[in-house]
Structure 1
Amino acid sequence: MVTASQRFLSLDVFRGLTVAAMILVNNPGSWEYVYPPLEHAKWHGCTPTDLVFPFFLFAVGNAMSFAMKKYAEAGNAAVIRKILTRTLMIFGIGLLLNWFPFVKWDDGHLVMKPLSSLRILGVFPRIALCYGAAAFIVHYLKDRGAFVAACVILLAYWFVLIAFGTGDPYSLEGYAGLPLDKLILGENHMYRGEGVPFDPEGILSTFPAICNVIFGYLAGKFIQEKGKTYEMLARLMIMGCLLIFAALCWDMVFPINKKIWTSSYVLYTVGIALLLISILMYIVEFRGQTRWTTFFTVFGKNPLFIYVLSGVVVKLYLLIRPVPGQNMYSWLYQSVFQPIGGNMVGSFLFALFHVCAFAAIGYWMDKKKIYVRV
């Protein structure tokens, strides 16, 4: 991703805020003790945590609106090559992260993690697929065509769920994407967080997620074209409110749901993203209040690298056993943070500590002018 220029520092802040939030919600000291806003909705509905991933995809689209201008100067063949290369690299990183650290504990011994149970999809693979699809759509269909394509995808997804779902098409059991994932991916390569093979980053639900990137791209283009004006700010806020209203109306017949990434969920999260960016732009760009932004911009300047690093560290925690039968993750929580704040506060402090630790790493990288591009 390409970092937005300092003229739009607020976009860096938005991206960094999203990465920091991803680390916060992914790393509680104990999953038994998590404040409700930091948990995903059980099924229908949307918590603050459910906003984080679509915000990241929206930020990918923002960044893409700056990068595509450079791509256009390189010629069609070069554009295709760049998009495919970046897509495959991000997808490959996701697969490696899913497999990492390549070994696991089994009956007191370290054994290789079998490829036969490797999860194929997930957060990074979805980022890759959504970026690649959105980039090609924008490249070939241009701005208006991309907007129309996004609308068609959202409506077509609704139709597919109704036409091919069984029973309640918006339930786990009736969801049309579940048999598709089992057929193409295989149950052994799917997520089992619901207690059964079900991938919240599955094949079918990736299609509406592409629209989060497209809308992020269109918002980025609009901001660049209108510049730092109150007209731009007002139109962003109005569009955000309209999308939230439309999503809440659609929710009555097509529930807002992250796990199957419903079309109403796309509109809802894009609307909130537009409002949040509007607020950030007013504070940062219009009022010039930038002192507080450094903490978030250091995440925004190396977003994928810092997120990958956070995943690597946590997986290493689970591998290391400072005492027999207890991994580093639980030992650190129970020995350091739980005594300080108890169960709930200690669990939150554990997550907040890691956000600050990765912010420090990002700050050091920024000072050294180290920016890892994918």
Structure 2
Amino acid sequence: MKSERLLSLDVLRGITIVGMILVNNPGTWESIYAPLRHAEWNGLTPTDLVFPFFMFIMGVSMSFALSRFDHHFSRSFVTKLLRRTVILFLLGVFLSWFSLVCFGVEHPLEHIRILGVLQRLALAYCFGSLLIMSVRRPVNLAWISGILLIGYYVLLMLGNGFDLSEQNVIAVTDRWIFGENHMYREWLPDGSRIFFDPEGLLSTLPCIAQVIIGYFCGNILREKTEIQHRLLQISILGIILLFAGLLFSYGCPLNKKVWSPTFVLVTCGFASLFLVFLTWLIDIKKQQKWGYAFHVFGTNPLFIYVVAGVLATVLAVIPVGDTSLQGKIYQSIVAVFRDAYLASLIYGLLFIGFNYLIVLVLYKKRIFIKI
């Protein structure tokens, strides 16, 4: 069942990476359907599920990958951990630098955004792996995850953590460590901007717990019991996480931009149940053809995420008349469909289609780029 389970995981990973690329690449940011927007602050939209799903999947995958080391710090483990952490982090920094250079920002090194999506994945992977390898008893790992979430909630409560302002402890921490020039500027509802990073350093703490929860689900998948029994266990865990997160959200709002503890619980709950559904559909019912494209995306997920980021920047800076190549393509779609929202979505889907051709070539040649 190992390879079959990994097929399910690849499909889920592919669905998630497609979602990440889609929500990052509309035809225009002015015309986006509501489900494809992030919540402005508190709340949850389908778009808010995409990144935490990938974080959860990374934890599931770590269960398979780290099992080979049997909780022993070997030279090969440390080398792999450091190499992957550094590569992921630097790729994230590169995307920021590349965008600044392409848009003609002077002295780009002085304005590089230090943190971001790939950087958060790198840090969560690194510290999650270290905890998993250091703590042998699963119950102790569960306690550590709980302490992380509770401790982070206390920090949020004491440090204006649920206020969208520069006095938020997350913004204060990033400003103190990195400086404003290296921070993201978040949009406010009135159209103004403040220095607040939705992938802040402090808000990466609960992501470690997210990875560990995914690791627990991966451990369940690796058990040698009947597949139905394993899926039942993950379903029960997912339901508990989902209802606990929704219940506690009355005192701790669901909030992606601070990655609140309830956001961790709810998104892990949804991800667990979605993993169960896909495993049932693919492994038990053998309905696999529909997921082929997602499986292809899921075999080179981080590589195509980086490629998509570079491609999106290039399309946005190549001049075509009085607009960019991206703008020209979008205007052509609008001219046909006469609906800005639909045209924006179609552009995103065409962009995904182009990226699919890239990963399809790699897949056909059995080239899997590990990042």
- Normalised by the size of structure 1, how large is the TM-score? 0.93
User: Residue 102 of structure 2 contacts residue 313 of structure 2 at CA under 8 Å; is this kept in 1?
Assistant: no
- Find the counterpart in structure 1 of residue 351 from structure 2: 354
Return the letter of the residue paired with 2:42: H
Superposed counterparts of 1:115-264, under 5 Å: 115-142=109-136, 143-163=138-158, 165-166=159-160, 169-173=161-165, 174-194=167-187, 195-264=193-262
The more displaced of 144-153 and 184-193 is 144-153
Aligned partner of 2:91 among 67, 90, 93:
93
Superposed counterparts of 1:301-316, under 5 Å: 301-316=299-314
Q: Output the CA distance in 2 between the equivalents of 1:202 and 1:10.
A: 31
SS at match of 1:193: strand
User: Residue 128 of structure 2 contacts residue 211 of structure 2 at CA under 8 Å; is this kept in 1?
Assistant: yes
Return the letter of the residue paired with 2:39: A
The more displaced of 186-195 and 200-209 is 186-195
Q: Output the CA distance in 2 between the equivalents of 1:75 and 1:180.
A: 32
- Find the counterpart in structure 1 of residue 190 from structure 2: none
Aligned pair in 2 of structure 1 residues 338, 300: CA closer, same or farther (>3 Å)? Answer: farther
- Find the counterpart in structure 2 of residue 344 from structure 1: 341
Q: Output the CA distance in 1 between the equivalents of 2:225 and 2:29.
A: 44
Q: Output the CA distance in 2 between the equivalents of 1:256 and 1:347.
A: 28
Deviation at 1:284, TM superposition (A): 0.6
- Kindly provide the CA deviation profile for residues 208-256 of structure 1, in whole angstroms up to 9, marking residues without a partner as x: 0111111111111111114552111122112111111100111000101
Deviation at 1:154, TM superposition (A): 0.2
Return the letter of the residue paired with 1:48: P
Runs in 1 of length 4+ with deviation above 6 angstroms? Answer: none
Q: Output the CA distance in 1 between the equivalents of 2:275 and 2:200.
A: 28
Q: Output the CA distance in 1 between the equivalents of 2:71 and 2:276.
A: 30
Identity of aligned residues (%): 39
User: Residue 34 of structure 1 contacts residue 344 of structure 1 at CA under 8 Å; is this kept in 2?
Assistant: yes
- Find the counterpart in structure 1 of residue 360 from structure 2: 363
Deviation at 1:337, TM superposition (A): 4.8
User: Residue 72 of structure 2 contacts residue 133 of structure 2 at CA under 8 Å; is this kept in 1?
Assistant: no
Deviation at 1:76, TM superposition (A): 2.5
SS at match of 2:152: helix
The more displaced of 126-135 and 355-364 is 355-364
- Normalised by the size of structure 2, how large is the TM-score? 0.93
Return the letter of the residue paired with 1:353: L
- Find the counterpart in structure 1 of residue 330 from structure 2: 333
Deviation at 1:16, TM superposition (A): 0.6
Return the letter of the residue paired with 2:92: G
Q: Output the CA distance in 1 between the equivalents of 2:251 and 2:163.
A: 13
SS at match of 2:185: coil
Q: Output the CA distance in 1 between the equivalents of 2:46 and 2:75.
A: 41
* Runs of at least 5 residues in structure 1 that lack an aligned partner in the other structure: none
User: Residue 223 of structure 2 contacts residue 230 of structure 2 at CA under 8 Å; is this kept in 1?
Assistant: no
Q: Output the CA distance in 1 between the equivalents of 2:302 and 2:360.
A: 15
Q: Output the CA distance in 1 between the equivalents of 2:44 and 2:331.
A: 30
The more displaced of 72-81 and 122-131 is 72-81
- Find the counterpart in structure 1 of residue 263 from structure 2: 265
Aligned pair in 2 of structure 1 residues 228, 353: CA closer, same or farther (>3 Å)? Answer: farther
The more displaced of 215-224 and 351-360 is 351-360
